[in-house]
Every structure is written in structure tokens, then in C-alpha cells.
A and B are shown apart, each in its own frame.
Chain A
Amino acid sequence: MLFNSLQFLYFFVIVIILYFLLPHKFRWIHLLLASSYFYMVFFPVYILILGFTIIIDYFAGLYLEKLQGKNRKIFLVISLIANIGVLAVFKYYNFLNQNLSDFLSIFGHHSPLPILSILLPIGLSFHTFQAMSYTIEVYRNNVKAEKNFGIYALYVMFFPQLVAGPIERPQNLLPQLHQRHHFDFEEFKCGLMQMAFGFFKKVVIADRLAMVVDDVYGHVDTQNGSTMLVAAFFYAFQIYCDFSGYSDIAIGAARIMGIKLMINFNVPYFSKSIAEFWKRWHISLSTWFKDYLYISLGGNRVSVPRWLINLFLVFLISGLWHGANWTFVIWGALHGSYMLFAIAKNKLNTYLKIPAIKGGVGKILQISTTFFLVCFAWIFFRATNFSHAMQIINKIAHISLKDNLSFILNSTEMWFCIILILILLLKERFYLKIQTRNTTTFFIVIALVIFSSYLFGIFNNKQFIYFQF
């Protein structure tokens, strides 16, 4: 079920009213059923995959708590194999098989393995990572195993964040699922406003920019460098509004129920470095990789070369997490390279005693450079394949003042897009929060946000970009 659909609005109203009408002891059952329905609307049979990993992880958690010594590790490994195995089959099998086939074709052979014609279950990478964080945390004795199977299943399947995060930690979510929540009008207003603004970001900004981006990226051969550059710039904001819009709706929806999900975005395009960007972009994923992969590999408490390899490897895997395509791997590798380059540059600056540019100009320079690097990497993220991405970069590199800009939108709408981006940036730059304390103001503002979303929104049932991951 898409957040930007009327079906979700009805579903949400029904679920929320029933949630607060039901006694506390029945709420988890109600939420579990609602979450199952929410997921099954996409493709009913895939609930079985989710069920499979939930059962394994639930029992793995119980045994991890009960057992001592080496036996514990066995259950952790079983859980990890189950989760990564599901990911491998559904997400990476065909990719690996295709690459194997390409490799063998050099020697005149074909891959003996068949190509599977299966659909990727929606949000697979998100809920498997959330499930893995549970068993790892239980293994590390940071959290107690959940005894109630239903509550554990709800932890994995909680509908607001089931298909595109934020990827929650058991320490944060599990206790809240046990807690008794009373209807809080202030929380209700805050949550609703966050949902409405997330919806606005998705249907007014992201889906409008998507029209330009999809058209330009779909006709690379016929587009010139200037048009490609604008599309690359628009894509940076499309993906941000799309994904942060989703996160806003997810966080807002949970907040109405009294459940606080972790923050997922924190004005990422004002980051002064790539390292800072990753502290502000898709925070739940970057912290997941930091907590469970980077630290497990030794983090920075190892030799310098090993540390740099760890760092690069984490970004490479993070790229692969997004999708089974070399473009995502390159995207991850680019970010890894940026990080290594930044470390080398800092070391060199310290060694040569080159002072950092301070003040407003320095800040603007740092923010612009970071944004440019991020936009450059997004080209690989958005392109359908490597040669496609190189073609785009080549065109942008040969940009000319004589280039005619041609877009699917007319000039008024192109300016409207730019104004929307500027408003978004200003709001983020000055951390402008929409006030909800005064109820009258709240109702006026939310009515305006909803009405302008309706008037200027693009309602084409376009999926959220991160659903595919």
C-alpha cells in the first residue's frame, strides 16, 4: 500500500481509531493484523518470506539469551544466514548469475544456473536489516530476547516503517510496543503535521521533479549537457524529497500512535563534508552499517591501511545494499573514495600546516563542494547502467552555452520547481518548524498544506524510490 494513496489514508484512519478504542492488551494484535494487511496489499504471498525470517529470528533470539559460549554463535549465524540468504536469493541471485554468465562467456561458456523470474519483495532490505539488528543486539547482550512472538513479529512488520524504514533498533522500538499509549492531542497534531508535510514533499516536489528527471534520463541520447546537468541537480532533490517525505510520513504516523521512531534525515544538503553528509542522510542505515559492520570489522581501532579498507568496504556494501546493479556499487565506491580522499586531504593539510578556510565563504565552499560530489554520485545511482552514467557525465563535461534547454515541463513549471527547492532549502537552513501548539493555527496550516498538496500535487501513484530496495 502506497503512503501517497487514498487507500492508505482510509487504512490509517481505521487503524488509528481502532487502536485508541481497543484496550491495551489487544493493540499489538490489531497492529500486527493491520501491518500484515498493509504488506499483503503489495503482493499477498510474500508475507510467507517475512514469516519465515520472523520465525527463525524469534527462536534464534530466545536461544541466544538462553545459551552460553560457542552455541550462541551458532544461533546468530543461523539467523544471519536466513536473513542474508533471503536477500541473496531474491535480490542478488540473478545479478550474480548474470555476472557469472558474462564472465564465463569470455571463455565461450554459459552459466549453468537458471535465471529466476521472481519479483523482489517490497522493502526486503529494510526489514531483513531490522531483523538482523535484533539478533545481533541480543547476541551482544544489549537487549533481552522478546518472549512474545506477536510483539516480535510486530517489531519487524510495524507498518509505518516496514517497507522503507527508518530501520529501527530493538532497544528503541520493542519497549514502545509494550508500553501503554494514551491519545495525546499534542502528539497527534505534531504527527499529523509531519505526515502532511512529508506528503507535500512527495507529491508536490519529488513527483514533479521526477517528471523532468525521468524524461531526461530516459532520452540520454537526445539530450544535451545543460539539460542533463539540470536533471542531475533535480534528481538530488527528487530523491531527498521522496525518501525524506516517506520517512516523515512514517515517523508522523507512528507518533500519532505514541511511538517515536528514529530520525532519518537531518538537513543533509547543508553538510560541510561527506562524513557529515552520512551523519545526516539515511541516518538509520548509516548508523546500522557503523554499529554492525564497521565496528565489527574493527572500525578505526586497527592499523591505518586496515581502517581505510574497512571504511571503503562499508560504503561498497552500502552501495550493494541499495540494489543489485553495478551502478549502486559504483555509487557506494564513490562515497568510499570521497571519504578516503577527505582523510588523506586532512592529513596532508595538517602535515603541510595549510589552514582551513574559515568564515562564511569557507562554509559555502565546503557545502557546495559536498553537494557537488553527492550530485555526481547520484548520477550513477539514477542511471540504468554504467555506460548510461558515463554518457551523462560525458555530456555534462561538454556543456556549452549554446545548449538549448528542453524539458517536459513548461518554463513556468520549471521556475515553480526551482522556487519549491529554494523554499525547501530555506526551511531546512533555518530549521523552520511548523508550529502545532496553537490548535487554531494548526488547523489553518494543515488545511493549507493539504489543500496546496491537492492543488499542486502530481497524483500518478508513483512509488517511493526506496520501495525498490
Chain B
Amino acid sequence: MKRIIAYIVLFIALALYAVSCSNLLSEKYTDFRYNGNILFSYDKQRYGDLFGISFLPGYKYESTKEPSYVSKQKYNIPKIVDLYMINDSYLGFHLALDSNFSDMSKLVHKDLFDTVAIKTVLDTNKVNILLFEVSERYFRYISDSITLMKQVAVLKDRGLLQKKIQETIQEKQAGIFSDIVSYIFNPQTNQNLEFNTFDYHFITPIRELKAQLNYKLFNRTSKEVVVSDHNLYFAETIDTTLKSSSFNPLPDEEVMQTIAYLNASYKYYKRLGFDEVYFTIVPNPVSILCPERSKYNNLIPKITHNPDLKMPMIDLFDIFMKSPTPVYYRSDTHWNEDGFTIWLNEFHKRVYNLILQRSKNPCKVVGPNT
């Protein structure tokens, strides 16, 4: 009997360890759990990512799946738009739903921090749009021309594209030994193990107990989270020493330099053949909800309202400021469905206007039906 128990424990431990050594397998296991029994599912995202870090029960709100206030505007855009999207998690979470970008003839997207550039051949019969979506907390880290210009590589013909793809596959195959080493000694194994061992719905009450006890007794929660009366904020958007913070001083020279980088990147991508390039800086929740917490550095207004800026901006700052309903989750770093829908409407409006401007184009364009 003891031997059987030993084998069972060994099997479970080995299986979980093996899964946790691989980020890909961990993700698959996470998806499997998320779609399975609620008890074995996880709460890290269900109630907002900041709840998933802090586990403070007072901030436990299930994320809504549909916009409550803003309705999706329908612009009947003809299927002639190839959209190339460089995004972070703000748009990343919404890519899974096909309907959000179903009017695009093609959607190619890449994570902002993925070091492998999109390699493509532009279809000159289509309207090629490049979209950058960057949250305010990352903007100052990536807004240099080198980072921006290395996101997409436009190739001259399909043969060259095929060759490049082949080269990438060969490079990957050659690195099989390093893949094995990085699997065995994956620095994220511990983090994955913590997630795969403790992030179960049925364990959440114990984690909440710990969080509540430490918060009530010691006024302490996770270092990554700042608690306010109504919201949880990501600490790095508040810590004034970090560039990700809405309250980190922003010198005028940096603004000028950033404008120059954005303009250079705009020119570069236009020259590569894109019909238009759009840029969105999604405000940090604290910039909108609580700018008086400290002295807001006005990053977004300083960039988007700058008269020298050539890069077309999808500016959400003023719209979000005026929004009568919340555009962010109370316990998440991201916008809620209303916030996203506002952006989506703004984006579609821009695309629609772009196509309208191309009046030579014979396609029929129908205005918004709202």
C-alpha cells in the first residue's frame, strides 16, 4: 500500500514538475484547467490580474465579458484592410474574439516584447495599416526609434519571405540542445509550479485569508499592488522612481526626443509601403482615475497634443477622462469592455475615414449605423 501511495505521489510530482519546466506546457495546462471544472480552474485572471496578485477579497469582481455602457459602432468597412498590429496585453486579451477585427481582410499581430519581427510582403491591392498599441507604463521604455523600427520587416517578394521563414525554422532546429537546456533549467519553473500547484479555485479562500490577515493586521499586501478606496493599482504605475509611473517626472527634452523618434518611425513605415500607421498609448488606470494621487506627468497629453507630432494617434485620454462610466476594471491593470469598445470604435472610425479619403478607391463605404 505504501509503495502504491509513493508511486502515485511520485507520478503527480513528476508530472507537475515536467509541465512547469515548460512555459508552453504550463499555458496548455492552464487553458485545460480554465475550460474544465470550476474547482480546478484558476482565479488569477477571473477577478482581475491585480486581484490575482493581491487576493484581497474586498476587490473581488468577476470581469465582465460584454460592454455595459458603450455599444460597438458598426462601420461597414469593406474587406480590403490588412492590419498589422504591434500590441501589449491591452489588445492582446481581445484578439481571441474574432468579431472584434472581423472586418479586416487580414490580421497579423505580434507582442510588443516578442523579439522576432513580423516578416511580410505587403499586398498592394489592399489598404495596409500598421497599428501600435502600447500602454502608458511601457511607453517610455519602448518609444525609441530602434525598438519601434524593428517590429516589422517588409520583404520585396514572397520567395524571399519563404526563404526567411525557412531560415527561422532551421535556426530553431539548430538550437534544439539549448532548448533542452532551457527546458531543464527554466528560470520560470518555480513561478509555473506556484501557479500550477496553488492557483485553483478551491484554494482561493485560503489565499484570501492570508491576504486579508496580512492586510488587516500589518497593512501589507503584495508589493506589486497599491490599494486605494475603490481600486487596486499596479505599483509600478505609481512608484515615482520608475519610468512606468504616471508620476515619474517627464523632462521636456525627453518629450522632444520621443516626438522625433515617433516621427522617424512613422516616416520609416510609410516608406516601407504602409498606407497608414496608427499609434495608441493606453493611459495607466491611475492617470485617469486618480491623477491627483501625486503630480501626473501628463505624458499622454504632452505627446498626443504636440504640434510637431506626425504619427497619427488614436487618443483616448480625453475620452476616458470624460467617460461617465468606468473604463477600467477595479482590480485589473487593464481597461474593461467599455474601455476597449471605446478604443475599437475610435480605431474603426479612423480606418473608415482613411478609406473614405481614398476616394479614388472604387469600394463602397457605408457610414456608422448608430
A contact residues vs B (CB 8 Å cutoff)? 5-7, 10-11, 13-14, 17-18, 20-21, 37, 40-41, 44, 409-410, 412-413, 416, 454-456, 460-461
Contact of B13 among A10, A413, A416, A455 (CB under 8 A): A10
Expressed in whole angstroms, the minimum distance between the Cβ of A446 and any Cβ of chain B is 17
> What is the size, in residues, of chain B's interface with A at 8 Å between Cβ atoms?
28
Query: Is B189 part of the binding interface, using a Cβ–Cβ cutoff of 8 Å?
Result: yes
Q: Contact between A6 and B194 (Cβ–Cβ < 8 Å)?
A: yes
Collect the chain A residues with CB atoms within 8 Å of residue B177's CB.
none
Q: Contact between A6 and B193 (Cβ–Cβ < 8 Å)?
A: yes
Over the window 31-55 of chain B, the binary record of Cβ atoms lying under 8 Å from chain A Cβ atoms (1 yes, 0 no) is: 0000000000000000000000000
Contact of A44 among B181, B194, B206 (CB under 8 A): B181
Expressed in whole angstroms, the minimum distance between the Cβ of B262 and any Cβ of chain A is 36
Collect the chain B residues with CB atoms within 8 Å of residue A37's CB.
184
Cα(A372)–Cα(B9), bound, Å: 49
Query: Is B100 part of the binding interface, using a Cβ–Cβ cutoff of 8 Å?
Result: no
CB-based closest 4 A-B pairs: A413-B218, A7-B190, A17-B10, A6-B193
Interface residues of B in 188-229 (CB under 8 A from A): 189-190, 193-194, 197, 206, 209-210, 213-214, 217-220, 223
Q: Contact between A44 and B193 (Cβ–Cβ < 8 Å)?
A: no
Expressed in whole angstroms, the minimum distance between the Cβ of A119 and any Cβ of chain B is 14
Expressed in whole angstroms, the minimum distance between the Cβ of B273 and any Cβ of chain A is 44
Collect the chain A residues with CB atoms within 8 Å of residue B20's CB.
10
Q: Contact between B6 and A6 (Cβ–Cβ < 8 Å)?
A: no
Q: Contact between A41 and B185 (Cβ–Cβ < 8 Å)?
A: yes
Q: Contact between A410 and B218 (Cβ–Cβ < 8 Å)?
A: yes
Collect the chain B residues with CB atoms within 8 Å of residue A13's CB.
9-10, 13
Q: Contact between A413 and B220 (Cβ–Cβ < 8 Å)?
A: yes
Cα(A165)–Cα(B13), bound, Å: 27
Cα(A44)–Cα(B187), bound, Å: 11
* A17, A460, A461 — most chain B CB neighbours (10 Å): A17
Collect the chain B residues with CB atoms within 8 Å of residue A460's CB.
223
Per DSSP, are chain B's interface residues mostly helix, strand or loop, or mixed? helix
Cα(A338)–Cα(B189), bound, Å: 46
Query: Is B14 part of the binding interface, using a Cβ–Cβ cutoff of 8 Å?
Result: yes
Given A40-B185, A44-B185, the answer on whether A14 and B17 have CB atoms closer than 8 Å is yes
Query: Is B104 part of the binding interface, using a Cβ–Cβ cutoff of 8 Å?
Result: no
Q: Contact between A10 and B10 (Cβ–Cβ < 8 Å)?
A: no
Residue of A nearest to B12 (CB): A13
Expressed in whole angstroms, the minimum distance between the Cβ of A234 and any Cβ of chain B is 16
Contact of B17 among A10, A17, A410 (CB under 8 A): A10
Cα(A395)–Cα(B294), bound, Å: 33
Cα(A460)–Cα(B190), bound, Å: 12
Query: Is B118 part of the binding interface, using a Cβ–Cβ cutoff of 8 Å?
Result: no
16 additional A-B pairs beyond A17-B13, A409-B218, beta carbons within 8 Å, are A5-B190, A6-B190, A6-B194, A6-B197, A7-B189, A10-B16, A13-B13, A14-B10, A17-B9, A20-B6, A41-B185, A44-B181, A409-B220, A412-B218, A413-B220, A454-B210
Q: Contact between A14 and B193 (Cβ–Cβ < 8 Å)?
A: no
Collect the chain A residues with CB atoms within 8 Å of residue B14's CB.
14
Collect the chain B residues with CB atoms within 8 Å of residue A413's CB.
217-218, 220
Collect the chain A residues with CB atoms within 8 Å of residue B181's CB.
44
Cα(A6)–Cα(B193), bound, Å: 7
